[in-house]
Amino acid sequence: MTEYATLLHAYGLAVDTPGHLAALAGDDPAARARALEHLWSAIIHQGTPWTATPPAALEVAALLSDPRVTDPGLRAELLNFLAAVAEAGRMTEGLSEPDFDVNAVLAEVLRDGDEEAIWEDERLPDALYLRAVLGCQQIVPALLATATAALSDPSPQVRAAAAYTIGACGRGDASRLEQLAEAAAPDERAALVLAIGDLGIAPRRHLQDPHPGVRACAALAPALAGDPAATAELLAALDDPTAADDWFTNRPPQLPTRMRFFLLAAAIDRLPAPDPLLPAAVRLAGVATAHTCDQDWGLLLRTFFAGYAGGPLTAVQRAYLSALTANLDLWDPTHGNAALAFRDAGLPYDRETCRALAQPSRCAT
């Protein structure tokens, strides 16, 4: 039996975790909702694992074979949680093995009953984080087995979440995913294709899929990063970037936010120069809001003006800046991220000044 009183989640000792795990299989909807919130906010806080994460994830995996856990939405959410845990196990960069007895130091701190002392110790937080990450790595085989079994679930929502978890584990039977994709509807098929890509396989044939969203998901595969046909598909998808956001009734779990954000990021990463993105950028500038700065228009602003240090603008820079100045919603001094995007681009966050800069007379001949 797991001693959660000696384990940590994002808000301290995980003494409340057993109760939440039990509620997931209970018949109280409110308690179940609180339990799901606990998983996402405490057990895997914004993608960060804690020492309570691996054992809690194993209990969640076991719940997926519990006959009381039948609701497709709940089952899909639990699988999505397991995918996040598997992804957390990959975050080992910059970590090193501690040169002290972690258990002894932690036991001494807990014996004094002062949880805050954990974070005051210069060595302990990093050591515990490493333990959490390695713990997530170690349970990947169990998570993979759970997700593979869930591919036989009658619900397409659950099967899509299972595919996501398999891809997050970085291993699995890609041929099974391909087989399921043959008969799946577009929403599920997109998730399966993304999972195939996450396994390091190039889903090239899905670039010919009849559904534009599935084609775009195939193009996002890392193994197709240098493929001209995949890059062309990304650009085609961005021809109407706001329409791309509505391609799916149930968005693939791998893409938790707007589709255009992922398309843009991939296209910017793959194109040697951003100029081909100008048509999509201008269209986006007309519908963008200050709140999406870091995901679309601000990202494009930084890209188009990379290395800009003042002086005349190129035709592409003028066209994009002119489109931004036409949208009044982007010029709100209370939005710090918007101002930061302009600063990073070497531009003033002032609409009239930028409108003047965008005039042809300011461009070099």
Q: Which residues pair with 153 in a beta bridge?
A: none
Range in 60-74, 95-109, 312-326 the model is least confident about = 95-109
**Helices 212-219 and 186-198: angle between axes, nearest 10 degrees:** 10
> How many helical (H) and strand (E) elements, i.e. helices and strands, does the chain have?
20, 4
C-alpha separations of 303 from 77, 264, 299 in Å: 35, 11, 6
pTM of the model as a whole: 0.91
40 token code pair:
């996402």
**200-252 per-position pLDDT tens digit:** 999 999 999 999 999 999 999 999 999 999 999 999 999 988 899 999 999 99
CA-CA distance, 55 to 58, in Å (whole number)?
A: 5
What's the rounded Cα separation, in Å, for the pair 198 and 282? 31
Over residues 25-44, the pLDDT tens digits come to 999 999 999 999 999 999 99
154-172, pLDDT tens digit by residue?
999 999 999 999 999 999 9
Rounded Cα distance, 99 and 105, in Å: 12
The angle at the Cα of 203, spanning 201 to 206, to the nearest 5 degrees, equals: 170
Residue 211 in tokens: 């559904």
List all residues 6 or more positions away from 141 whose beta carbon is below 8 Å from its beta carbon. none
Residue with tokens 């997931």: 24
Backbone angles phi, psi at 9, to 5 degrees: -120, -170
